[in-house]
Amino acid sequence: MNILIIGGAGVVGQKLARALAAQGTLRGKPITKLTLADLNAAPTIEAPFPVEAATCNITDTASVAQVITEETDVIYLLAAVVSAHAEQDFDFGYKVNMFGTLNVLERCRALGTKPVLVFTSSIAVFGGEVPQPYTDHSALNPQISYGAQKAIGELLVNDYARKGFIDGRGFRLPTISVRPGVANRAASSFMSSIFREPLQGQEAICPVDPDFPHFYLSPRQCALNLVKGAEIAAEDLGKNPTMTMPGRVWTIRQMIDAMTAVAGPEPAKLIRWQEQPEIADILAGWRLDIRPEKALRLGLKADDSFEDNIRYFLEEDIAAPAGA
C-alpha cells in the first residue's frame, strides 16, 4: 500500500503516520511507502517502510498532481484552514477548504485509478435550529464558513465516490483534545490549551462556563479511527460514505475533574475563566450532543474516559507531567 497524507505535518497527520507505522499494514496489505505532504516539509517518522516528506499546496493543481500519482493507493486529506481563521479570511477559507478539496478530487478522477480517499470533515457542519442530539440523519446546518466548506467537501466526496472516481469515505472529526503543540486558529483551540498549558505549569484561558457540553476525541483514538476508516469495505458504507467519527460528550467541568484525577489539583488552578468576544458567537453554537451511531457500528471507537485523554497526552506528548 502506497499511502499519502495531505496535511502530514499537523497533529492528526503525525499521529496517523505513527499509527500506520505501528500497524505496518493497511487494508490487509503491507505498507510499501508513506508520503507526508504539507505546505512545508513534515517531520518524518520511524517506520518499517520508507517514509518521505513532500511539499504540497492543495490550492495548486500542479502541486497536487506531484503528490497524487498512479502509484497512490490511499489518500488522507487532512489539510484545511481551521474555523476562526476561515471565518476571518472568507476567500482563503473557500480557496483551501472547497477549491483545494476539489483539486484533489479532480486529480483522482483524471488518474482513473480510483484510490481510497479518506476525507476529514468536522462537527462544525452541525448547527442552527436543527434539534439535538445530532445523528447520522440530521441536517447539516453550519453556522460558520469553515463548516459550510466542510459540508460542501462532504457532498463532493460523496458524489465523486458515487460516480466511481474515488473509493471515498469521510469522517466528521470531533474536537481533538488534548492536542499537543501550540494554540492554533481554531475556535476550539482552548479545549486543548486549558489542559495542555496547566499540565506544563502555565496559565490558560477558558472562555466558556464549566457546564459547556461538547464532543471530544483524543488524537490517539482519532488516528486509530482514520486507519480503520480506510479499511472499511466500500459496500459497507451505504449511500452516504461520510459520517461522524465517534467521540464523547463531556462538560468542561468533567474534563477538568479528569485532569485533577490524573495529575492532582494544581493544574486546574492555572485556568482563568474569561469570555473571548471574538469567538463568543461561534462557541454559542457549539453546545453539542452528537450520536455517531453509524461509525460505531462500522468499528470506529470513542475514548473510554477523559482521564485516558489526559494520560495519552502525558505519555506521548510531553516527557513528564508538569510539576512532576
* 17 or 140: CB nearest a second copy: 140
46 binds a second copy (CB under 8 A): no
What the block records as the C-alpha cell of 316 is 506521548
What the block records as the C-alpha cell of 36 is 507526508
235 binds a second copy (CB under 8 A): no
Interactions with a second copy, residue window 150-209 (CB under 8 A): 151-152, 155-156, 158-159, 162-163
Backbone angles phi, psi at 143, to 5 degrees: -115, 15
Interactions with a second copy, residue window 50-69 (CB under 8 A): none
What the block records as the C-alpha cell of 31 is 505498507
CB of 216 to a second copy, least distance (A): 23
92 binds a second copy (CB under 8 A): no
User: H/E element holding 13?
Assistant: helix 11-23
> Is residue 146 among the annotated active site residues?
yes
CB of 59 to a second copy, least distance (A): 16
Name the residue among 303, 129, 289, 291 with its Cα closest to residue 211.
289
30 binds a second copy (CB under 8 A): no
CB of 155 to a second copy, least distance (A): 5
What the block records as the C-alpha cell of 174 is 470531533
> From the CA atom positions of the chain, what is the Rg in Å?
19
Contact of 80 with 147, CB cutoff 8 Å? no
- In this chain, which of 61, 66, 113, 138 binds a second copy, going by CB under 8 A? 138
Interactions with a second copy, residue window 249-308 (CB under 8 A): none
Catalytic residue (one of 134, 146, 160, 312): 146
143 binds a second copy (CB under 8 A): yes
239 binds a second copy (CB under 8 A): yes
CB of 61 to a second copy, least distance (A): 15
Contact of 75 with 116, CB cutoff 8 Å? yes
What the block records as the C-alpha cell of 198 is 496547566
Name the residue among 22, 55, 25 with its Cα closest to residue 37.
55
Contact of 9 with 78, CB cutoff 8 Å? no
The count of chain residues that interact with a second copy, using the rule CB under 8 A, is 27
Measured CA to CA, the distance from residue 46 to residue 81 in angstroms comes to 28
112 binds a second copy (CB under 8 A): no
110 binds a second copy (CB under 8 A): no
Residue 118's identity, in one-letter code, is V
- In this chain, which of 24, 43, 128, 133 binds a second copy, going by CB under 8 A? 128
Backbone angles phi, psi at 314, to 5 degrees: -65, -40
The site for a second copy (CB under 8 A) is made up of 90, 127-131, 136-143, 145, 148, 151-152, 155-156, 158-159, 162-163, 238-240
Catalytic residues: 146
